[in-house]
A = this chain, B = another copy of it.
Amino acid sequence: MFDALKDLSTEMIPAVEAEMRDVLKLKEKSDDQFYGMMHYHMGWVDEDLLPLEINGGKRIRPFLCLLACAAAGGDWIQAIPAAASIEIIHNFSLVHDDIQDASPTRRGRVTVWKLWGANQAINAGDAMFALAHTAMERLSTRGVMDSITILALRMLDDACLALTMGQYSDMQFEVRDDVSVDDYLSMIGGKTAALLSLSTELGAVVSGSEPEISDHYAAFGRDLGLAFQIRDDILGIWGDETIIGKSAATDIETRKKSLPVLYGLSKDEELRRLYREPETNDEFVDRVVEHLDSTGSREFAENYEKKYADSALAHLEAVSPHGDAGVALLQMTGRLLNRKF
């Protein structure tokens, strides 16, 4: 049976993968440790720099970029450098995030900083930042006009700035007691939505779309990112451990200021007192969830999720995405938002 999403992912994702391997010099520098740290993080080699067959991530962003390019009527082959660039930027930010969060593992593997130390991991991230730009600069070698290549680079750096602003806020939230829902939405707007918005917008821009079309693609990616992040927040508290792969208690134990929690804190004095307690035990998590339930925090977050998901779909429908890529884009959106269309 024909399955647009599956068929196109089988074609597009290996093309991005090949482009990234070329930019990050997987063949020429297979035993060079400077490149090896990047290859390890991308999921291509193990910690001895020997080849691996596992997947280094879901490659959602580059796939959305190529689908958007094709759905907007462009030749997705031309957008491969942009897709590769975005995925390398995403991975640069994960290498630095893992240091900042002191995370020992990522995607079930030991993190770069745990293996090679924080100093080398900072540097490996910096190298990936440079190479992500090198990837984007290759647009001009694929027949994309110079003016579009420069626009793409400007958009990339605006998104990187938004990403670092989101990361700044996220780290500030840990020590702030007065985080509002608006602060939170602005934070995830940078930390999660900026790169997803860049992915879909750039696909459209490379296809040659006018701003009235590419703006819808940008808004589609942004709202998809916001809905996806809020869904992740909800699953982080009420999700099924066997499905989400981590204890649903973790977000509460680490006092994460996610959307449902921020709403609960604003409504419930006892919850504010509880969240300030330094000690954590099983009873603690249960009591926090009780307070979140009684204040309607889950419904509050679900309303936001629905609002952004509906808006994402409206922006996508407004541009009538073309052909198989259009069908796949809708399928992908449904999968990310856990909806059926």
Which of under 10, 10 to 19, 20 to 34, or 35 or more describes the interface residues of A? Answer: 35 or more
Q: Is the CB of B168 within 8 A of A120?
A: yes
Instruction: Mark the stretch among A48-56, A158-166, A242-250, A292-300 that contacts chain B.
Output: A158-166
Closest to A138 in B: B154
Q: How far, in angstroms, from A130 to B194 measured CA to CA in the complex?
A: 14
Task: Please provide the chain A residues from 150 to 180 with a CB less than 8 Å away from any CB of chain B in the complex.
Answer: 150, 153-154, 156-158, 160-161, 164-165, 167-168, 171
CA A60 – CA B156 in complex, angstroms?
Answer: 29
Known: A100-B122, A120-B171, A123-B171. A133 touches B157 (CB 8 A): yes
Contacting residues, chain B, for A134 (C-beta < 8 A): 154, 157-158, 161
Is B119 a contact partner of A100 (Cβ separation < 8 A)?
yes
Q: What is the oligomeric copy number?
A: 2
CB nearest to A147 among chain B residues:
B146
Across the interface, do B99 and A119 meet the contact criterion of CB distance under 8 Å?
yes
The answer to the question of A200 belonging to the interface, with a C-beta cut-off of 8 Å to chain B, is no
- Chain A residues 107-122 with CB under 8 Å of chain B are 118-120, 122
Residues of B contacting A125 in the complex (Cβ-Cβ under 8 angstroms): 126
Residues of B within 8 A of A127 (CB): 160-161, 164-165, 168
B120 lies within 8 A of A133 (CB)? no
Q: A134-B161, A150-B137, A168-B34 are in contact. Are A100 and B126 (CB under 8 A)?
A: no
Is A331 an interface residue, CB under 8 A from the partner?
no
Q: Smallest CB–CB gap between A340 and chain B, Å?
A: 39
Query: At the interface, yes or no: A129 with Cβ under 8 Å from chain B?
Result: yes
Contact of A157 among B137, B154, B161 (CB under 8 A): B137
Q: List the B side residues contacting A99 at CB < 8 Å.
A: 119, 122
Closest B residue to A92 by CB, please name it: B126
In the complex, the answer to whether A137 meets B123 with C-beta atoms within 8 Å is no
Within 8 A of B (CB), among A295-328: none
Contact check, A153 vs B171: say whether CB atoms are below 8 A apart: no
Tell yes or no: A209 within 8 A of B by CB.
no
Which B residues are CB-close (under 8 A) to A118?
A: 118
**Cβ-defined contact, B96 with A122, below 8 A:** yes
Evaluate contact between A123 and B167: CB separation under 8 angstroms: yes
Q: B161 near A150 (CB under 8 angstroms)?
A: no
Hey, which chain B residues are within 8 Å of A164, CB to CB?
Answer: 34, 123-124, 126-127, 130
Chain A contacts to B: CB under 8 angstroms:
33-34, 93, 96, 99-100, 118-120, 122-127, 129-131, 133-134, 137, 140, 146-147, 149-150, 153-154, 156-158, 160-161, 164-165, 167-168, 171
Interface pairs (29), CB distance under 8 Å: A33-B168, A34-B164, A96-B123, A99-B119, A100-B119, A100-B122, A100-B123, A118-B118, A119-B171, A120-B168, A122-B122, A123-B164, A123-B167, A123-B168, A126-B160, A126-B167, A127-B161, A127-B165, A127-B168, A129-B160, A130-B157, A133-B153, A133-B156, A133-B160, A134-B157, A134-B161, A146-B147, A146-B150, A153-B153
Which are the 8 A-B pairs with shortest beta-carbon distances? A146-B146, A130-B160, A127-B164, A100-B119, A133-B157, A34-B168, A134-B157, A130-B157
